[in-house]
Structure 1
């Protein structure tokens, strides 16, 4: 078996409403669909570039894919580790382009084996709850958004904070007043150490599951200080892209957020997860704004390697669906009963 063809196309979908976090506001999703084909079948992958987090753009992703094509044509798609190592040596960073190729390779492998990708990865879990996200807005808007998500079946809310400490505390208080659901918070690097300690201590009473990346990504030592200053567990996100980053964060945080767009796909993410588990750190699988294709891949990974938490709702704000795949029911993501990723273009 060998790769005969590789193609891609740009994806662009307006969001239902602006997605506002401490790092900025997004109104349109832009990504790249990648298709790898052998003589027998094709595999699909998605790149969801984020200049503020991965440093990638749609343009840089396509440039990387053009370079990768020559290295992939004629190769055996089942040798995923070998191929991903070759791409890593060929081009540094460009993790969203690598993730798209990685997804397509895993899709082909699963289809060839007649197994879902989650089973190929170990099949450690059957289900996992995923949070749904409350973006930054007025306190009233945040409460309304939380109510809508709860009515849609959410069992876990991820509340974005990080711009206004006083309003953030009030936002959490107001949302806690309407629900007993789990609440986790994400500041997306928005606070200084002093402000983070102040806010987290004030919201401890509201039973917060964990606080994600309260400080700038480079402030690793300060994350350790913050961890010792609050009862709320601390999770790293923007500070962790590689397995080496995981090692740097041992003892500084309680948990890490592995996003396949940051790691460069499932193959590298599995290495990160192995390091984190060995170090006794909890793991969440998160996402960017992505289509169901990327979220389906993330769900396969989360269930396959057996992580602790999931934040896999990246397609919820898209104004239209581009792919079939994962479905959300009663607080969990349900994977298709199909080999490979189980996704199809609509």
Structure 2
């Protein structure tokens, strides 16, 4: 099995800001795995919060590239175990696991959702994310991209006022993501005000390890709260079920589709809602996420929509939220260069 890695710098349409950082570009790594004339593609983006760079991922993978090339590939799940045993970071594993799943589907001639026994006749609509900015800039972004559901990034000194102003200009569903910037008291106070403004749920309002605070929020918030930074790997799901209404699973954080499928199953067993989110990936990563949507309650897969230019073709999202799946098997991905 041949392995190939390439770094890209993805330009964003607009400066993207959350409570802890801002950026105009997103660095990403594409991993390709080739076997029997078929090539699968996977992706993992850099992330300063988790101290991951494209170079660090490439260094990890290059260190075992000869072992990967000698590996006798059968199923992605078995390959995932091999990668875990090699001690790679979850981000590096994610890129390879996504490539392995895409390759597996292409070898079988079937899309992944079909291999998993799911149907794309019914699925949740992805939100479109509005990063923190002056209100007029946030409003302009909404008007540029009319959408049925917006995720609004908050973590400022006037969060409720921002939502109140944005609400004047759209009837779309709002989701709020504070990216760990609020306290439990702020969350409990803000929740009823935001509920009146048509907010569906809150995502990760408190710091990732503030379990005591989240217990207070769970007892007093009038809005559901979804875990993001508090839910990284499969073992986090059970703990999050005691402190959140649901979990937002990120493929890069957990290590790809293989653990994500386990996390989805566990969350459903525990009776909490399931969301999968993105990390501003290109169409490579987004197409992998899209294979999961029949199994989800919510999805945030707008990463490629936030880009000024893309590097691949694959799953496409229409302005009304409809997802167009390509005829190509696996994740349906092809690189443009």
TM-score bracket, shorter-length normalisation: over 0.9
Displacement after TM superposition at 1:124 (Å): 4.3
Q: Distance in 2 between matches of 1:124 and 1:326?
A: 15
Conserved 8 A contact 2:183-2:213: no
Cα distance in structure 1, aligned partners of 2:206 and 2:151: 17
The equivalent of 2:151 in structure 1 is 158
CA contact (8 A) 1:43 1:104 kept: yes
Contact 1:110–1:116 under 8 Å retained in 2: yes
Matched with 1:232 is 223
- Whether 1:337 and 2:334 are equivalent positions in the alignment is no
Matched, 1:242 2:238: no
Deviates more, 1:257-266 or 1:119-128: 119-128
1:315 has 2:312 as partner? no
- Summarize deviations over 1:97-136 as a string: whole Å, max 9, x none: 1111111111111111110011112314433300001111
Q: Distance in 1 between matches of 2:323 and 2:330?
A: 16
List per-residue Cα deviations over 1:302-346 (Å, max 9, x = no partner): 23xx11011100112222111011211121332212211111111
Number of the residue aligned with 2:93: 98
C-alpha distance in 1, partners of 2:46/2:92? 8
Q: Does 1:51 align with 2:42?
A: no
Secondary structure, counterpart of 2:101 in structure 1: helix
TM-score, normalisation: structure 1: 0.93
CA drift of 1:196 comes to: 2.0
Q: Deviation at 1:301?
A: 2.1
Secondary structure of the residue aligned to 2:3 is: strand
- Which of 302, 317, 331 is the matching residue for 1:328? 317
- Quick check: 1:143–1:171 contact (8 Å CA) kept in 2? no
Q: 1:68 to 1:269 in 2, by over 3 A?
A: farther
Does structure 2 conserve the Cα–Cα contact (< 8 Å) formed by 1:200 and 1:230? yes
5 Å-filtered alignment, 1:1-346, equals: 3=1, 5-52=2-49, 54-91=50-87, 94-126=89-121, 127-150=123-146, 154-164=147-157, 167-303=158-294, 306-329=295-318, 330-346=320-336
Q: Tell whether the 8 Å contact from 2:4 to 2:31 is kept in structure 1 after alignment.
A: yes
C-alpha separation in 2, matches of 1:199 and 1:172: 11
Contact in 2 for aligned 1:78/1:105 (Cα 8 Å):
no
Greater shift after overlay, 17-26 or 32-41? Answer: 32-41
The CA deviation string for residues 33-57 of structure 1, in whole angstroms up to 9 with x for no partner, is: 11111132111111212121x3311
Residues 273 and 283 in structure 1, CA contact (< 8 A), matched pair in contact too: yes
The CA RMSD measured in Å over matched residues stands at 1.5
Q: Distance in 2 between matches of 1:137 and 1:223?
A: 27
- Classify the secondary structure of the residue corresponding to 2:263: helix
Segments of 4+ moved more than 4 angstroms: none
**Maintained 8 Å contact 2:240/2:246:** no
1:22 and 1:121 mapped to 2: Cα distance? 37
TM-score (norm 2): 0.95
Gaps of at least 5 residues in structure 2 are none
Moved more, 64-73 or 183-192: 64-73
Distance 1:123 1:225 in 2: 37
